[in-house]
Amino acid sequence: MTRITLALTGASGMSYGLRLLECLLRAGCQVDLLISQAARIVAKQELDLQLPTGNAEVADFFNARFSEHGGEHGGSLTAYGKEEWFAPAASGSNPATAMVICPCTMGTLAAIAQGLADNLIERAADVMLKEKRPLILVPRETPFSLIHLRNMTTLAEAGATILPANPGFYHRPSSVEQVVDFIVARVLDHLGFKHELMKPWGARE
């Protein structure tokens, strides 16, 4: 089973992260879920989701939510706290196949660019870079300051993929969900997962 580390931080765009979580689980992935405190606030503000405080309860919450929306998924979900240093993602001896931070705050991005690793999200990203595993950051900010751009350049030079939440509209979306799926589809493409969220450019009817 492919193991993916998915981190949710406090940038706007929580729908992107939760839709990605659902897609990864339905693809049969083992997902290590890392949620910042700010992400919990954003989930409440944007989606009226009051996430449980306990890690096991968080996993149960999402398993139940996705089962209601589309039946049982074939994946596995484990949630970890920000200072659970014995989590698999914290060590290069047990790295995930890939890591995605979606949405990614500029603060998280800056910390990773400077190698701070002061919490599990930052440490897990640091592990991916040093082990040369795929790390995808999905920032949702506008406009970008020069500091933001320089931090992104540093991370891109270190091997990370910067995939801003800038949806296209050539597929003529008719709902917010289709706009969200555009970005999630691009993340899944970079992870190498097949999906049917949207048709590839140039695909015949």
Nearest to 43 by CA among 64, 23, 18: 18
- Residue 175 phi/psi, 5-degree rounding, is -155, 160
Q: How far apart are CA 133 and CA 179, in angstroms?
A: 28
Q: What is the pLDDT of residue 197?
A: 95
Contact 99, 7 (CB under 8 A): yes
The pLDDT assigned to 204 comes to 67
- Domains parsed from the chain with CATH numbers: 3-191 (3.40.50.1950)
What pTM does this model have?
A: 0.96
Please give the share of the chain, as a percent, with pLDDT higher than 90: 91
Which 8-state DSSP code applies to residue 94?
S
Burial environment of residue 91 by CB neighbours within 10 A (0 to 12, 13 to 18, 19 or more): middle
Given a cut of 80, whether residue 122 has pLDDT beyond it is yes
Q: How far is CA 85 from the centre of its chain?
A: 20
Q: For residue 201, what pLDDT is reported?
A: 86
